[in-house]
Amino acid sequence: METLAKIKQQIESNSIILYMKGTPEQPQCGFSEQAVRLLMACGKKFAFINILENPDIRQQLPQYANWPTFPQLYVKGELIGGCDIMTELYQQGELQQILDQIETQSD
């Protein structure tokens, strides 16, 4: 599948998806590690894509998303942000709210 189509499908079919370096078990970057920790602290299951193993996604997602760095968190198809934004939202309790909304809306 073409890379952009693949990205769109991933983002649309997973209500929470994190594009990261490494895996949640073995993150390869401190920022990705922090992002995983925050999602876990919110008690949510999430999908992830290891961009180190998907060089095509690593190359094309920044342009598609208009966001130059990783990690990138998407919730319900929308970019929430990277590690700093996740941290700030988490500290304000908003990350939990954003993630909780999914459960109330889904069947």
Cα distance between the two ends of the chain: 30
Residue 6 or 81 having the CB closest to other proteins: 81
* Mutual angle of helices 94-105 and 83-91, in 10-degree steps: 90
Instruction: Decide: helix, strand or coil at residue 94.
Output: helix
Q: Is 53 in the site for other proteins (CB under 8 A)?
A: no
| Binding positions for other proteins, 60-79, rule CB under 8 A | 66-69, 79
Residue 10 or 71 having the CB closest to other proteins: 71
**Which tokens hold the place of 4?**
């952009």
Contacts with other proteins by CB under 8 A lie at: 21, 28-31, 66-69, 79-85, 88-89
